[in-house]
Structure 1
Amino acid sequence: MILRHVTVDCADPYRLAAFWSEVTGWPVSGEDAPGDPEVLVEAPAPLPGLLFIRVPEPKAGKNRIHFDWMPADRTRDEEVERVIGLGATLHEDHRTPDGRGWATLLDPEGNEFCVERGAAERHP
């Protein structure tokens, strides 16, 4: 089997896809437009795309699954500040004085995701 998409229920698929496109640097599908009921952020192969689908009910609680992101070319703290600047909010800060830990953020619709230390921070 091949994992094709990770699907996220949401209120505004295009808005949320645009946010995640900015976070990841992956494009929103050229077939999608504002107002569409589902919008795809196309990941580079072999990664699965991020598919955002409109649902009528609001988010009700903590996500049962979430993304853990590791920045490729920034530090964890630089990445946290960058995604906050794109519209995320800091939810829980698990960073420690010794440089370990992670930050849990919320996307514009309140979905949790984490930013961990980058590879260079793990193995200086």
Structure 2
Amino acid sequence: MASRLSNFCFDAHDTFAQARWWGQVLDDFVFDPSDTEPGWNHEGAGESGLEGPDDRYLLFLKVPEDKAIKNRVHPCLRPTDRSRDEEVERILGLGATLVNDLRDGDKGWAVLADPEGNEFCVLTRYQPSA
């Protein structure tokens, strides 16, 4: 049996704010601020997270240092109910910044950064196979 991906971890100064922000971006990951587990999903928490489909998680871990270099790994998002360009505009409206615009008509992607500078891409819209 091979390994299965369980979670992605992001270093963060404000784990609560990052989890709440990403919860607005991803509708299939749930942010639960009422979770009472110690150190979890409250302001000042050492960890916060989002629960996703199939018991997968996005975890935000408190670190003291600032982000200094480009991410070595980053998530790529594929919109399901709007165009790539509409999704880029929506996420920019939530507080992301545009890092690199590699869109070329119906091809390419946009590289954005979350409020703490973690890069991610927005790809073209998901098209289920026929």
When normalised by structure 1's length, the TM-score is: 0.90
Structure 2 residue 120 is the aligned partner of structure 1 residue 117: no
| Aligned ranges 1:1-124 → 2 under 5 Å | 1-25=3-27, 26-29=29-32, 30-31=34-35, 32-45=41-54, 48-96=56-104, 98-120=105-127
Matched residues in 2 for 1:91 and 1:75: separation? Answer: 19
Matched residues in 2 for 1:70 and 1:89: separation? Answer: 17
Displacement of 1:37 after TM fit?
Answer: 0.7
When normalised by structure 2's length, the TM-score is: 0.86
One-letter identity of the residue aligned with 1:113: F
Matched residues in 1 for 2:121 and 2:102: separation? Answer: 10
Matched residues in 2 for 1:115 and 1:94: separation? Answer: 10
Matched residues in 1 for 2:9 and 2:81: separation? Answer: 26
One-letter identity of the residue aligned with 1:117: T
2:17 partner SS: helix
Matched residues in 2 for 1:78 and 1:72: separation? Answer: 11
Identity %: 44
Matched residues in 1 for 2:75 and 2:84: separation? Answer: 15
Partner of 2:38: none
Matched residues in 2 for 1:119 and 1:9: separation? Answer: 28
One-letter identity of the residue aligned with 1:119: Y
5+ residue gaps, structure 1, are none
One-letter identity of the residue aligned with 2:51: E
Displacement of 1:119 after TM fit?
Answer: 2.3
1:50 partner SS: strand
